[in-house]
Amino acid sequence: MNFKRMLLIATLALLATKPLFAKTEPSYATSKLNDHVYVITQIWNGNNNGNAGVVIGPNGVMLIGSLMASSAPYLAREIKKLTDKPVKFVINIDSDPYNHHANQYFADRGATIIAHENMRYEKAYTELLFREQISVAMGDEVVTAYHSPTHQLNHIDVHLKNSNVIFMSDGFKGHWLTPHGPNGLKGVLESFDKALALADDKTIIVTGNTSKNPAHYVRDKATLAKVKKLHIDFTERVGTLYKQGMTAEQIAKDDVINILLKNFSAYPTAKRWIPEEVAMLLESDFIQPYPLTHAQLTNYTGNYLLDDGTKVEVLLAENRLFARAAGSFMFELTAKSKAVFDFKAVQGKNQIRFNFSPAGHIESLTTELEENGWWSSRIKTGTHIKQL
């Protein structure tokens, strides 16, 4: 299924009424966390807003999330209201567009773009990539970005130790569910538990997509702990109903499910997305793949080329099969059969079909994408020949 359709839930879906990419001049609200740390909230149409972090050091600014390219000059203007110092660094928390879309704008003006190494497989401008953790000194503040196995394969959280602030973007949303991503509930809980261990009762936790309520533009440890419990209860209930043979649509109508989700302020509008949330959850946590041994999975690995040189790499890591292409995509693959693999925890009719020779050897793969879907604009359809 199609994980960027979750972008429709994470970045666009909760907007509900009007597009994010507004052509009119955007408006902002600025929250001062201390003398050198701020949150700039872009006021979006619909039922969601977007946060970016600003850390002011002695020689420049670090921006956590660059928001959209169309609004970059206006965001830069908001930063200028806080300081005349230039933006020296931009940190991308993940590949949701509002986290990286304006990277090039700030890079052209001297900023270094920092992101997780898996961002090289996204349609995003990046420069300094890391795997597990990186720290940058901004005067007396030490900004530490660390890989977090939630939401997406390229997700990170950002900890400002001295300011007692954690930026989690869509790894945590106080007003609605966080899409688990391919690592499932286990990845979400690992991310939550790391943040809870770093936090105390005074820690400020900054989400990416945020409530329309100005009082909830930033959140706290207590809210994170509450949302953690809701994720556990929601997942367990979905699993129980799935084992009883219920479909995603049927599960979405369950009274217990809806009582749980009414704890989120976005429920009145977001409830129409519950079937998709459930379908994503079933993909990430409950639907079992077609059984293949490690040796069998190894046969799928390698480089596959289109006639124009476009390459898709298939690799095996910790007995999980992934497909990726630089500047385009990276997915975990879930076997539906020996030949057909779904994009794990991604909604939509998107899959890879492996083609076999009469002797049973893998010769090529064919991308089969949802027409006019998100991924059809990012991935070239056609048959890619396996390179020997």
**CATH at residue 336:** 2.40.128.50
- Is residue 79 in a domain? yes
Longest dimension (CA), the chain: 69
Residues β-bridged to residue 141: 138
**CA distance linking residue 262 with residue 175, whole number of Å:** 10
Residue 327 and residue 228 in one domain: no
Instruction: Please say whether the dihedral angle defined by the alpha carbons of residues 218, 26, 7 and 322, taken in this order, is positive or negative.
Output: negative
Domain extent, residue 364, equals 294-386
Same domain, 213 and 357: no
Say whether both 225 and 157 belong to one domain: yes
**Full pLDDT tens readout for the chain, 388 residues:** 444 444 444 444 434 333 444 468 999 999 999 999 999 999 988 778 999 999 999 999 999 999 999 999 999 999 999 999 999 999 999 998 888 999 999 999 999 999 999 999 999 999 999 999 999 999 999 999 999 999 999 999 999 999 999 999 989 999 999 989 999 999 999 999 999 999 999 999 999 988 888 889 999 999 999 999 999 999 999 999 999 999 999 999 999 999 999 999 999 999 999 999 999 999 999 999 999 999 999 999 999 999 888 999 999 999 999 999 999 999 999 999 999 999 998 877 889 999 999 999 999 999 999 888 888 888 888 999 999 8
Is 52 among the domain residues?
yes
- The CATH number that applies at residue 138 is 3.60.15.10
Collapsing DSSP to helix, strand or coil, 55 comes out as strand
Asked whether residue 160 is assigned to any structural domain, the reply reads yes
Tokens of 170: 């869509």
If asked whether residues 198 and 308 sit together in one domain, one would say: no
> Of 215, 234, 253, which residue is a domain's last?
234
Q: What is the pTM of this model?
A: 0.91
In a domain, 269, yes or no: no
Could you tell me the two tokens for 272? 């129409």
Instruction: Determine the 3-state secondary structure of 318 from DSSP.
Output: coil
Number of domains in the chain: 2
Q: Which of 234, 266, 283 is the last residue of a domain?
A: 234
Domain boundary among 184, 206, 234: 234
Phi first, then psi, for residue 88 (nearest 5°) are: -95, -30
